[in-house]
Amino acid sequence: MAINTIERHVNEQSPAALKLQERAHALIPGGCHTYAKGDDQWPLNAPRFIVRGQGCHVWDSDGNEYIEYGMGCRAVTLGHGFPRVVEATRKALDYGCNFSRPAPIEVECAELFLSLIDGADMVKFCKDGSGATTGAVKLARAHTGRDHVALCADHPFFSTADWFIGTTVMDAGIPKAIQDLSLTFRYNDLESVKTLFEQNDGRIAALILEPAKYEDPRNCVAGTGRSSFWMKRLLASAGTTVALRSITTSFRTCQSLARPLEMGSRFPLWPASEN
């Protein structure tokens, strides 16, 4: 899109939308409470605010309609306002939704979730994806007694916690001692992983990546649509755990989340999903 077209679209934003944006930046750092939704993460002609959605369609505060390819930062699998979800939510609200003790639905959800994942023993639901991945990292460190974490540099986001943000350009306020515990490797590049393990022998607690992002792992099982996971032998021999952040794949590519048994081994695995 030509620059003048972008400028014209920006200038056509309603005064009300621009005023709301100014108020947001005056009150909220970055203008929103979720980093990925910030103005600096989107092109100039992106809508300022979304007021409602239905399915994959959303409407901004000026009434313009869009197809939201991002679907709530990839977390809205069924689409906005999915009727069965809306109706179930309305019914549940009549009973209250935040008690000081567990509710039966927590057990029901755990049983249903685990029935969809081959080889999974337990599940812990978190409030967001950062909590899920950070919990996986803590478990890996506790299990192995090691401190270092290896994460895929080609996958753009894992957590708001220091162990990940310390690897980005927005690392202000994070001690160097924390940053030094996070190492990076390249996706679909087994040699970069081997080198990392050779240079940090016996020190890596966990390796974290998405099962697939912009391309599948290179040695997918032919005709099955499933991955045999290209680093499984290396990880097993190194005694390192693996965490799969599967927000992009999750239940979109297959019903069984990350399919742990395809790893070919029963070493600890904690899939961390935001769906």
Other residues' Cβ atoms within 10 Å of the Cβ of residue 166: 20
Residue 128 clears pLDDT 90, i.e. is over it: no
Q: At residue 21, what are phi and psi to the nearest 5 degrees?
A: -65, -40
The closest alpha carbon to 221, from 176, 262, 166, 173, belongs to 262
Q: Give how far the C-alpha of residue 62 lies from the chain's centroid of Cα atoms, to the nearest Å.
A: 30
The tally of CA atoms less than 13 A away on the side-chain side of residue 21 is: 20
Model confidence at 252, pLDDT cuts 50, 70, 90, reads low
Please indicate, yes or no, if residue 73 is contained in any of the structural domains.
no
Tell me the Ramachandran region of residue 255: left when phi exceeds 0, alpha when psi lies from -120 to 50, beta otherwise.
alpha
Beta-sheet strand order (sheet of 57-60): 50-54, 57-60, 65-67
- Mean pLDDT value of segment 20-41: 92
Q: CATH number for the domain including 253?
A: 3.40.640.10
- Paired tokens of 83: 């009727």
**Integer Cα distance of 59 and 65 in angstroms:** 4
Boundaries of domain holding 176 = 122-263
Element (DSSP H or E) covering residue 120? none
Please indicate, yes or no, if residue 88 is contained in any of the structural domains.
no
Q: Give the model's pLDDT for residue 268.
A: 45
Among 81-95, 96-110, 231-245, where is mean pLDDT lowest?
Answer: 231-245
Please indicate, yes or no, if residue 259 is contained in any of the structural domains.
yes
Please indicate, yes or no, if residue 272 is contained in any of the structural domains.
no
- Within the chain, residue ranges assigned H as helices are 3-11, 15-27, 83-93, 104-115, 129-144, 162-165, 176-179, 190-199, 232-238, 250-253
The total number of structural domains that make up the chain: 1
Please indicate, yes or no, if residue 32 is contained in any of the structural domains.
no
Please indicate, yes or no, if residue 40 is contained in any of the structural domains.
no
Please indicate, yes or no, if residue 274 is contained in any of the structural domains.
no
- What pLDDT, in 10s, does the model give residues 32-46? 998 889 998 888 889
